[in-house]
Amino acid sequence: MAEKRNFTIAGNWKMNTTLNEAVDLVNKIRSGAADFGRVETIVCPPFISLSKVKELLEGTSIQLGAQDVFYEEKGAFTGEISPGMLSSLCRYVIIGHSERRTYFHETDDVVNRKVKAAIRHGLKPIMCVGENLDEKDAGATESIINRQISLGLSGIESADLLIAYEPIWAIGTGRAATSAYANQVMNYIRELLCKILHTGKALRIPLLYGGSVNAENITDLLSQNDIDGALVGGASLKPDQFLSIIRQANELGSR
């Protein structure tokens, strides 16, 4: 996808920031990000801060995302948040992050239901996939990705979504995948999407890389043909780092 140079940079704040800290963080990002118009910048704070962060982002081009959503519309599901509750607040929602798959036992079927529910409500899912270290070492990366994408997107024809490839062994470890490795897997994902969806649709789906992305490795990663952006964890909590990542994406997109 050498011609596609409108990058997407999403910050996943995970379970970090109180309401006050979220306000402080978004104010710093907002004031620094004004000139980076070629980049679709997304911040994904915890649920409790979505409403306030939405207010603070008004008048900017920075988009808001949630970190999860339930698939039911409403009812007796204590602690859950429905797609209808989110759709008036955010444009994006992360679904199937490996931390949810690992700690909250989310299956591909649950991920699929969530993706369908989000799309039904006009939210853009950022569906996460990725192999763990044992799977990588066993040479099973492609079969794991194949399963997660085929089942996660089962019955879905819309291209209004993003895929985040996050090798689990690279998340929060400071050891990002090499850009060549990430691009190879993401090229596989692109080809898989072309088989599952109409090719024209598949080519429109942004593929984000996630796993120890920082200001030092972002340009190298985004220089790869099949990497359209990044899902950033730890570095998205540091305004200088996050702004540097967006700035570099903007510069690369402007060339």
Ligand X SMILES: O=C[C@H](O)COP(=O)(O)O
The residue within the footprint of ligand X, chosen from 85, 189, 197, 213 (CB under 6 A), is 213
Consult the annotation and say whether 233 binds a ligand.
yes
- Which residue type is seen at 204? R
The residue within the footprint of ligand X, chosen from 193, 232, 243, 246 (CB under 6 A), is 232
Residues of the chain by 3-state class (helix, strand, coil), percent to 5: 45, 15, 40
Residues 79-108 that bind ligand X (CB under 6 A): 97
- Which residue type is seen at 156? I
Catalytic residues: 97, 166
x-or-dash pattern for ligand X, window 12-51, by CB under 6 A? x---------------------------------------
Residues 120, 123, 126, CA angle at the centre, nearest 5°? 115
What is the closest distance, in whole angstroms, from the C-beta atom of residue 231 to ligand X in the complex?
5
**H or E element at residue 151:** helix 141-152
Residues 151-190 that bind ligand X (CB under 6 A): 166, 171-172
The residue within the footprint of ligand X, chosen from 212, 224, 244, 250 (CB under 6 A), is 212
User: 45 or 210, CB closer to ligand X?
Assistant: 210
Question: If binding is defined by CB under 6 A, does position 210 make contact with ligand X?
Answer: yes
Consult the annotation and say whether 212 binds a ligand.
yes
Question: If binding is defined by CB under 6 A, does position 239 make contact with ligand X?
Answer: no
CA-CA distances (angstroms) from residue 46 to 43, 65, 119? 10, 9, 21
Is 167 within 8 Å of 177 (Cβ atoms)? yes
Coil, strand or helix at 12: strand
Question: If binding is defined by CB under 6 A, does position 125 make contact with ligand X?
Answer: no
**H or E element at residue 208:** strand 207-210
d(C-alpha 64, C-alpha 57), whole Å: 8
Annotated binding-site ranges for substrate:
12-14, 172, 212, 233-234
The residues binding ligand X (CB under 6 A) are 12, 97, 166, 171-172, 210-213, 231-235
